[in-house]
């Protein structure tokens, strides 16, 4: 811990800021100072927004999304395609897909991926609730939008096995060259997948 | 502005987080999600710490430091050498010097440096109050601990001129090789200064 150079209130703010992702001890000090300088325009409003978030945000019992209502806004949205469930690892992935606007369906947040190394087993993830939701006759397709990592793919296989008896269409995201990506910077696996799944031009 | 994918409370939190130094729109989203996941251990306490800081932190009228008391803890500290004033650009520099423990004196925060480009003129900085403090007969030395940039050095010259009639000892930080630094990575100016100010071994 660095030597305390400011009052205890400022030190506490710095220490808490340093625990935020993306901020270390040094950048936390800089952030604290900036916040103090922008007391009325940033520090006060941010304190209020955090207080509101801490008090009002809940986890959707259906899909695992975070929102101020349960079921969440997406689960309550009648315009969503009820026949498709998009399985994601984390809420951040849900947000990423929503930003893209690529799919107008509902989600299921697993809350992680299976990992022998980290001791994450199926019972630690929201897989049982996924099987239950997928058993709804309205559901026809499960899109596995999991990260293209070893753990992500292991999890995809496990989920597929778990819902095999439901006889649903199970799909995964396509592999290929990212839009705007340069071939020179891509790994062999991606290039291999992009060639293998080439499409007519 | 990215498309809103979460409720308005979360979006507002993300937008405010994105205005913090060191966080962009993408890392603000990640930070918001981490904060929500650590609601009780981080989000709540951070909201409280920010609220306390927003309400209690004041700028020391004497030196320009930020603290919960005015005069600040350093200005009230009777153990500090009253004969020396350390002139710094910003509170962050004051904190850096305090962390180093290099000097047990009081500070004077200019609140910036002169800059023709940014339109920062002497009247925008706490120079008049420095001249006033330096006029105290107890003060014998002014240490100019300003950044070794063009603007920092311009400001150092201006400050020196402003207090010349007081006939004080005016010093500046030494230039040289940073402790732990590798010569190969240093610029020519620093190496030149280090050679010129070489000391007996």
- φ/ψ of residue B143, rounded to 5: -100, 120
- Tell if the CB–CB gap between A16 and B45 is shorter than 8 Å: yes
Instruction: Give the mean model confidence (pLDDT) for residues A90-100.
Output: 91
User: Hunting for tokens 């005016």 — which residue is that?
Assistant: B170
Which token pair is B172?
């500046």
Strands A81-88 and A141-144: parallel
B190, B197 in Cβ contact below 8 A?
no
CATH class of B8-56: mainly alpha
- Report pLDDT for A1: 40
Set of chain B residues whose Cβ sits within 8 Å of the Cβ of A107: none
- Tell if the CB–CB gap between B43 and A53 is shorter than 8 Å: yes
Residues B113 and B124: their CA atoms lie apart, in Å, by 9
Share of chain B above pLDDT 90, in %: 68
Mean pLDDT, chain B, as a whole number? 91
A87, A110 in Cβ contact below 8 A?
yes
- Tell if the CB–CB gap between B19 and A29 is shorter than 8 Å: no
**Residue B33: partners with Cβ closer than 8 Å, 6 or more residues away:** A66, A90, A91, A92, A95
Distance from CA of B110 to the nearest CA of A (A): 14
Residues B196 and B160: their CA atoms lie apart, in Å, by 23
Q: Is any Cβ of chain B less than 8 angstroms from the Cβ of A103?
A: no
Burial classification of residue A71, based on how many CB atoms lie within 10 Å of its CB (0-12 exposed, 13-18 middle, 19 or more buried) = middle
Nearest by CB: B36 against A2, A20, A57: A57
Which token pair is B30?
């990640």
Q: Which CATH number fits domain A81-172: 1.10.1040.10, 3.40.30.10, 3.40.1360.10, 3.40.920.10?
A: 3.40.1360.10
A145, A87 in Cβ contact below 8 A?
yes
The rounded radius of gyration (Å) of the Cα atoms in chain B is 22
Report the chain B residue with the minimal C-alpha distance to residue A90: B33
Q: Is any Cβ of chain B less than 8 angstroms from the Cβ of A22?
A: yes
Looking at the predicted structure, is the pLDDT value of residue A3 above 60? no
Q: Is any Cβ of chain A less than 8 angstroms from the Cβ of B1?
A: no
B8-56 and B79-172 share one fold: no
- Report pLDDT for B192: 86
pLDDT band per the 50, 70, 90 thresholds, residue A57: very high
- Report pLDDT for A5: 63
Nearest by CB: B9 against A10, A16, A53: A53
- Tell if the CB–CB gap between B47 and A57 is shorter than 8 Å: no
- Per-residue model confidence as pLDDT tens digits over B26-64: 889 989 999 999 999 999 999 999 999 999 999 999 999
- φ/ψ of residue A78, rounded to 5: -70, -15
Select the more confidently predicted residue: B22 or A113. Answer: A113
B75, B63 in Cβ contact below 8 A?
yes
- What residues does each domain of chain A span? 8-56, 81-172
Partner residues linked to A106 by β-bridges: A85
Reported ipTM exceeds the 0.85 cut: no
DSSP labels for B142-175? EEE---SSHHHHHHHHHHHHHTGGG--EEEEPPP
- φ/ψ of residue A81, rounded to 5: -65, 115
DSSP labels for B87-140? EESSHHHHHHHHHHT---EEEEE-SS--BTTTTB-GGGTTTHHHHHHHTSTT--
A86, A103 in Cβ contact below 8 A?
yes
Looking at the predicted structure, is the pLDDT value of residue A4 above 70? no
Taking alpha carbons only, the member of B201, B173, B194 closest to residue B88 is B173
Digitized pLDDT (tens) for each residue of chain B, 201 residues in all: 444 567 788 999 999 999 998 888 888 998 999 999 999 999 999 999 999 999 999 999 999 999 989 999 999 999 999 999 999 999 999 998 998 888 999 999 999 999 989 999 999 999 999 999 999 999 999 999 999 889 999 999 999 999 999 999 999 998 888 888 888 888 888 888 888 888 888
- Per-residue model confidence as pLDDT tens digits over A151-174: 999 999 999 999 999 989 999 998
Has domain B79-172 been given CATH number 1.10.3210.10?
no
């Amino acid at each position: 811990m660095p030597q305390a150079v400011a009052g205890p209130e400022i030190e506490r703010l710095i220490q808490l800021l340093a625990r935020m992702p993306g901020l270390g001890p040094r950048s936390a000090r800089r952030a604290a100072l900036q916040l103090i300088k922008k007391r009325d325009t940033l520090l006060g409003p941010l304190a209020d927004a955090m207080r509101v978030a801490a008090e009002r945000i809940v986890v959707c019992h259906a899909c695992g999304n975070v929102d101020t209502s349960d079921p969440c806004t997406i689960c309550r949205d009648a315009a969503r395609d009820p026949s498709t469930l998009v399985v994601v690892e984390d809420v951040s992935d849900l947000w990423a897909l929503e930003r893209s606007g690529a799919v107008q369906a509902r989600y299921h947040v697993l809350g992680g991926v299976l990992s022998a190394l980290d001791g994450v087993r199926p019972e630690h993830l929201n897989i049982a609730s996924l099987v239950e939701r997928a058993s709804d006759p309205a559901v026809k397709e499960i899109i596995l939008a999991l990260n293209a990592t070893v753990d992500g793919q292991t999890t995809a296989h496990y989920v597929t096995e778990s819902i095999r008896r439901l006889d649903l269409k199970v799909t995964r995201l396509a592999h290929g060259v990212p839009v705007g990506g340069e071939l020179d910077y891509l790994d062999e696996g991606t290039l291999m997948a992009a060639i293998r799944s080439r499409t007519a031009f």
